[in-house]
Structure 1
Amino acid sequence: MFEREPDLTSIRRRMEMSGQRYADLRPLVLAESAPSREGTGRAASPEHSDDTIRAKTGRRWDEWVALIDAGPGRAAGHAAIAAWVTEEHGVDGWWAQGVTVGYERLTGLRLPGQMPDGTFSVSRSKTLGLEWVQLRELLANPQGRAALLPAMTSNERSRPGVRAPKFSLSDPDTGAALGVLQFRGEPANTGCRLVVTHEKLPGPDVAEAWKQFWSAWLEELATAS
């Protein structure tokens, strides 16, 4: 396990493969353009089954698709559709959100992992020997953060001391935005369970590539802790 004041040189050495993986990932993330909010025609499976959505809302997915198409329609936007489901059909807020997300997936307006603004989000987690307070201190220190995230530029975008700090990522050479990274530490029998969430990703291919990147990054960090 790290000492109370971790050796940044040692951490850089242990995490140096992350820099090479980012170099391999870089052509894809710099080439990917932001997604369109228009429907893509690529339908994806909703999170909840037909039986579940009927039990919770009184209607099956084909009924909801027909109703929303005939009501607010596909161009209405997430918030307007969710509000309509609640106001016109008496579905509570949580399940109205579920109906809306499922509708967006079924009609190609939203793919798995896609947020209401059209961007994508991925999340990975792993239990580490490193204590969260130590990792939080490293993340708050620009030099420590550079050791943990080699080959990328990161800037804090949350208030000091927040429970789940967020950072803007960018490419150091071009300044291109690489999304928003959030770290959250949860108690574990030893160390902490670290959850890494990468938001504001432009497309499904980039999201999948980053998911694999963070899985490998967590494995590296686990060997360093």
Structure 2
Amino acid sequence: MTGTGGAGSGNRTRAGSIPSLERATGRSWESWLAHFAAHGAATAGHTEIARIARDGMPAALENPDWWAQAAAIAYEQHAGLRVPGQSSSGDFRVSASRTLPLDRDAAIEAWVAAHGALGTHLGHTAGEPRPSRTEKRSFWRFPLEGAGRVEVSATPKGDDRTILAVSQDGLADGARIEAWRAHWKALLAAL
């Protein structure tokens, strides 16, 4: 069974995903599953599933495209089309974040001062970092030998706070996702 809400479906979505989606959209998970089923999502690719989700978003919802992606991923996990942490391309990713009382550039500087010189992360050698900045965010990116790519991003949240997020993409499997998440959370907590 592919898991469209039946008794034996074995929902494999991350625990926090469904309640957050229900609160944001005012729609129950069962209603979302019925919406996806009615529009043939079980045989669709990720882009089409996200479009189906977007079409079901309430008109007054803030960030409907973001919530459509969240709904599509939750559905894909529920239906067994991907497991938690798996991207639509088949590799795995993990992330962690923390809000800091700094501006975005100071948040990146704090990361670099505390962790920029680390040569390895969980036994994987860190490559040459690439700092960059856009109109909206500041970044510190580096490859990890045999463990994908890491992006540390700083996004302003109001006048005096920044969300500092660590995202790691390109993991070959999901076996160490929680170990990586704990690693990144510990580094963020040390700031």
Give the structure-1-normalised TM-score: 0.52
For the 8 Å contact 1:157–1:168, the answer to whether it is kept is yes
Checking the alignment, whether the CA contact within 8 Å between 1:168 and 1:178 is kept in structure 2 is no
Deviation at 1:200, TM superposition (A): 0.9
Partner of 1:150: 119
Name the structure, 1 or 2, with higher relative contact order (CA <8 Å, separation 6+).
Answer: 1
Contact 1:121 1:201 in 2 (8 A): no
1:182 aligns with 2:152: yes
Amino acid at match of 2:109: R
CA distance in 1, matches of 2:70, 2:19: 11
Give the superposed CA RMSD. 4.6
Q: Which amino acid aligns with 1:167?
A: R
Matched with 1:12 is none
Deviations 1:103-154 (A, max 9, x none): 223223344444444432211326589x944953985xxxx79853223333
1:34-80: per-residue Cα shift (whole Å, max 9, x none)? Answer: xxxx99x76224623399369635xx433432442353332412220
Q: Could you tell me which residue of structure 1 aligns to residue 7 of structure 2?
A: none
Partner of 2:168: 199
Structure 1 residue 102 and structure 2 residue 74: aligned? yes
- Counterpart CA distance in 1 for 2:94 and 2:22 is 25
Number of matched pairs: 170
The structure-2 alpha-carbon separation of the partners of 1:46 and 1:68, relative to structure 1 and needing over 3 Å to count, comes to: farther
Q: Distance in 1 between matches of 2:33 and 2:107?
A: 49
Q: 1:104 to 1:42 in 2, by over 3 A?
A: same
Matches within 5 A, 1:20-99: 43-44=12-13, 45=15, 47-49=17-19, 52=22, 56-57=26-27, 60-87=28-55, 92=59, 93-94=64-65, 95-99=67-71
Change (3 A) 1:79 1:132: same
The 3-state SS of whatever aligns with 1:184 is strand
SS for the counterpart of 1:148 is: coil
**Which consecutive residues of structure 2, in runs of 5 or more, have no partner in the other structure?**
4-9
Asked if 1 retains the 8 angstrom alpha-carbon contact of 2:141 and 2:151, the reply is yes
- Change beyond 3 A, Cα 1:83–1:179: same
What is the TM-score when the length of structure 2 is the normalising length? Answer: 0.59
Structure number with bigger Rg: 1
* TM superposition outliers: structure 1 runs of 4+ over 6 Å: none
Contact 2:108 2:139 in 1 (8 A): no
The residue aligned with 1:211 is: 181
Unaligned runs of 5+ in 1: 1-37
SS in 2 for 1:180: strand
Change in CA separation of 1:183 and 1:83 when aligned onto 2, cut-off 3 Å? closer
Q: Give the Cα separation in 1 of the matches to 2:76 and 2:169.
A: 18
Q: Compared with structure 1, are the counterparts of its residues 157 and 90 closer, same or farther at alpha carbon in structure 2 (3 Å cutoff)? A: same
Distance between the aligned counterparts of 1:63 and 1:48, measured in 2?
A: 12
Identity of aligned residues (%): 20
Once the two structures are TM-superposed, the CA of residue 96 in structure 1 deviates from its matched residue by 3.7
